[in-house]
Amino acid sequence: MKITTIILLLCFAFSFLNAAEVYSETLLKELKEKISKLELNSNEYKKVVKVYLRKFSNLKSKHTNTRQFAKSKRVKEIIASIKKGELNVAPPKKEIEKKVKKKKVVSSFIKEYFSEGLTDKNGKPIKLSQLSGKTIGIYFSAHWCGPCRAFTPSLVKFRDANKSNFEVVFVSSDSSVKKKKDYMVDSGMNWPSAKYKGQNSSALSSKFKVTGLPTLLIISPKGTLITSSGRSDITSNPSSALKKWQNKAK
């Protein structure tokens, strides 16, 4: 009877030890997941670490009399690591890949064509990298131009449907910055624009021999002119226009 009782007590003790060891690993996993999402040494970070430091300390005090658990020194190591700030909380590789966006390389022609920078319809700066890897439509237009006002809604619709692979840059010939802004806002132009009457606008007009409005130049991702008849391509067959340009660029 005594032997049976001793065996049962030993089984219970070992299962208790194993459960404690597993629980320490569970706590560690929880801690890593929580603080991997927080800024290092921020108030929230310190708050979470403090909570788990207390949990580990309690776990340690409950099991200091168990030789096997104390021998592993796992909880002591965890507590020491947290106090020193050495706990490895690097997120999994897949999670890193999701969070870190691949830096886009801005082609030299983009830097050349738009060296004065780009702005949105409200005048806020837009990164040149927004154009990287895309087919670009350089749109010479103005609100006072009737054919421009007639075509712009079609271009807006086309661009919005293909914005992952196609972007427009507006080169304005409006009579003022305010007129340009009003035209962009009223027409729903959610694309970049070149500096109003800047050197870039003048240089592009001269380089591509733009003689009338509206003109939509289609530029490949590598900077070559695909066509100066982007307007007619979109007007005649919007569903296949982008594919047509991409094929020509190959």
pLDDT for the residue numbered 23: 65
Q: What is the pLDDT of residues 155-192, one digit of tens each?
A: 999 999 999 999 999 999 999 999 999 999 999 999 99
For residue 12, pLDDT beyond 90: no
| Long-range pairs of 174-182 with CB within 8 A, sequence gap ≥ 24 | 174/142, 174/143, 174/144, 175/142, 175/144, 179/142, 179/143, 179/144, 180/143, 181/121, 181/122, 181/123, 182/143
pLDDT for the residue numbered 47: 82
Looking at the chain, the whole-number percentage of residues with pLDDT higher than 70 is 70
For residue 64, pLDDT beyond 80: no
Tokens in use for 116? 């004065």
Determine the Cα–Cα distance for residues 188 and 102; give it in Å rounded to an integer: 29
Residue 205's CB is within 10 A of a number of other CB atoms, namely 17
Determine the Cα–Cα distance for residues 230 and 160; give it in Å rounded to an integer: 16
The mean predicted confidence, pLDDT, of the chain is: 82
Cross-strand partners of 215? 140
pLDDT for the residue numbered 31: 74
Q: With bands split at pLDDT 50, 70 and 90, how would you rate the model's confidence at 13?
A: very low
Q: Residue 116: which of 180, 203, 178 has the closest Cα? A: 203
> What is the chain's length?
250
pLDDT for the residue numbered 142: 98
On the 0-12 / 13-18 / 19+ scale of CB atoms within 10 A, 101 is exposed
Give residue 246's identity as a one-letter amino acid code: Q
Determine the Cα–Cα distance for residues 250 and 248; give it in Å rounded to an integer: 6
Q: With bands split at pLDDT 50, 70 and 90, how would you rate the model's confidence at 48?
A: confident
Determine the Cα–Cα distance for residues 127 and 131; give it in Å rounded to an integer: 8
pLDDT for the residue numbered 173: 98
